[in-house]
Amino acid sequence: MTITADFGRTYGYDDLPGLMGLMTGDEKHGPAATSTLDVLWVLYDRVLRVTPERRDDPARDRFLLSKGHGPMAYYAVLAAKGFVPVDWLPGFGSYDSPLGHHPDRVLVPGAEIASGSLGHGLPIAVGSALGLRAQGMDDPAVWVLIGDAELDEGSNHEAIAFAGPAGLERLHTVVVDNSSASHARPGGIAARFEAAGWSAVTVDGRDHEALYAAFTAPHPGRPHVVVARVEPKTA
Amino acid sequence: METMRDRFAPVLSRMLDEDPRVAVVLAEIGKDGFREAMARHPDRVINVGIREQLLVGAAAGLALTGLRPVVHTFASFLVERPFEQVKLDLGHQDAGAVLVSAAASFDWPAGGYTHMSPGDVALIDTLDGWTVHVPGHPDEAESLLCRAVGAHDDKVYVRLSVQSNQRARVVDGRRFVTVREGRSGVVVAVGPLLDTVLAATEGLDVTVLYATTVRPFDTAGLRRATEAAGTDVVLVEPYLAGTSTAAAAEALSDVPHRVLGLGVGRRELRRYGTVEEHVAAHGLDAHSLRERIASFVGSAARVAAGV
């Protein structure tokens, strides 16, 4: 499925490399950017209930990009879905551009959080899930994307350990695992979440059907994590 | 004697009942006072456990969904430990919260340096857009807490201490209060140090301003006071000495002036003991303050006052 954006032009998955190609200057974060591409596309194309028109709707789904380095795939998907104009992309990282090498929610339409410093998104997502629950909004889903190395940050472990026992059913985490952590987590990433009471699924992060099935798997009473494995960063 | 912190849970419990936007976020510390409120509002009184990074990050998430989070723990764990969360999750996200600390600079000296935070206001002062309240009495704490929670989505830090003045003053959450007027210098007494400053300056011909809101700094109030009392300014603060020196200097940048910043010393004492012993060790007792203030404002103040 594609949607209409920018004067009737429609963009699909096949357009994303071209959109990413409009952004230059952050090549060192290329692997980080492309590792998230399929996860982002499947979420925005098929899972998240948010559109440019609904970006201030209190009942929208939230997507928090915590892994804020290498945001080219994120910007490409936001552009493809009409949140930001495609003609913003070539200015990527320049003084007058709203699109930095780390995103700023105040500048980027549709960005729920500013990120770049690792380990902030999941705690904020926990608070967002708590805040929606406290206001009786049990339907909106909160999604946060983190990287496998980002998972090293202790703040994430505070959030993981809290969210399971707190039963934050509307909280969802995607860990894009490109084997970039220097010290791999003993027992695997999913086990860390499962031990804290989360529902966990590990899938091929390039397989759109597998990702969709994992994203939409029921997880009553528990937060849900999808570990999306992609080729190693160094490959 | 009732402390400022004794007011915190009752005041916030009432606000939780009255305002559906208010949420209280705790990290174990202070939870006993919220037992009843937690039963009434289980979704808006949140104890994240001993997790201070999550404490501040979760508060930001609550704010992003439209709630007004009030976050409480000891200053060391609220400002210093999760400082990057304060900077980014609140400041950079453009999200508001009320941070309410306890333990102050040395409220529990027997607890040692791990529970002291004389640098909290200086740290907050490196950030943009924060209001900082330093009440000097439980009644003022109650009033300033209400103002802080009611301040839309502002970022507000409220610093509660066991140190207190004998009586409360009327404070408006913005301006310094003129307590005494003189002609040979201005002494700004912050929060719980007012009584001591009044005792220290007895018989000196100086203006005494009382500050319970130090950020934004009441530039106009200080300037007005210097018109009659001259531009010798002494700041007496219950946290790190010199924390507001830059703000005072900026207020007087276009006129010749001198500023003396008194407060808690930077050097770690490695002492336990009592609050009074720490007050004395940092030269914040009335006798020490008098010596330092009088020698700074000079003989003019004493001669003019006939002492």
SS3 string, A46-59, reads: HHCCCCHHHCCCCC
What is d(CA B86, CA B132) in angstroms, rounded to the nearest whole number?
14
pLDDT computed for residue A2 by the predictor: 46
In the chain, the amino acid numbered B142 is E
pTM beyond cutoff 0.90? yes
Q: Does A133 reach chain B within 8 Å, measured CB to CB? A: yes
Quote the distance between the C-alpha of residue A149 and its chain's center.
15
Q: What is the pLDDT along chain B (307 residues), one digit of tens a residue?
A: 899 999 999 999 999 999 999 999 999 999 999 999 999 999 999 999 999 999 999 999 999 999 999 999 999 999 999 999 999 999 999 999 999 999 999 999 999 999 999 999 999 999 999 999 999 999 999 999 999 999 999 999 999 999 999 999 999 999 999 999 999 999 999 999 999 999 999 999 999 999 999 999 999 999 999 999 999 999 999 999 999 999 999 999 999 999 999 999 999 999 999 999 999 999 999 999 999 999 999 866 665 555 5
B-chain residues near A137 (CB < 8 A): 65
Nearest chain A residue (CA) to B92: A114
- Tell me if A124 and B69 make a contact (CB, 8 A cut-off): no
If DSSP codes are grouped into helix, strand and coil, which group holds residue B289?
helix
Q: What does DSSP assign to residue A179? A: S
Whether A234 has a pLDDT exceeding 90, the answer reads no
- Burial (Cβ within 10 Å: 0-12, 13-18, ≥19) of residue B307: exposed
pLDDT computed for residue B133 by the predictor: 98
**Choice among A2-6, A15-19, B267-271 with the minimum mean pLDDT:** A2-6
Q: How many CB pairs under 8 A join A and B?
A: 103
Contact B52, B26 (CB under 8 A): no
Q: Which of B43, B51, B67 sits opposite A162 (nearest CB)?
A: B51
What is d(CA B101, CA B73) in angstroms, rounded to the nearest whole number?
5
B-chain residues near A134 (CB < 8 A): 23, 43-44, 62, 67
Q: What does DSSP assign to residue A89? A: G
Q: Which of B20, B43, B57 sits opposite A127 (nearest CB)?
A: B57
Nearest chain A residue (CA) to B25: A127
Q: Does B140 reach chain A within 8 Å, measured CB to CB? A: no
In the chain, the amino acid numbered B50 is I
For the question of an ipTM over 0.90, the answer is yes
What is d(CA A229, CA B121) in angstroms, rounded to the nearest whole number?
44
To the nearest whole Å, the CA of A102 is away from the closest chain B CA by 12
Beta bridge partners of B211: B190
A-chain residues near B26 (CB < 8 A): none
Kindly report the CA angle at B261 between B256 and B262, in degrees rounded to 5? 150
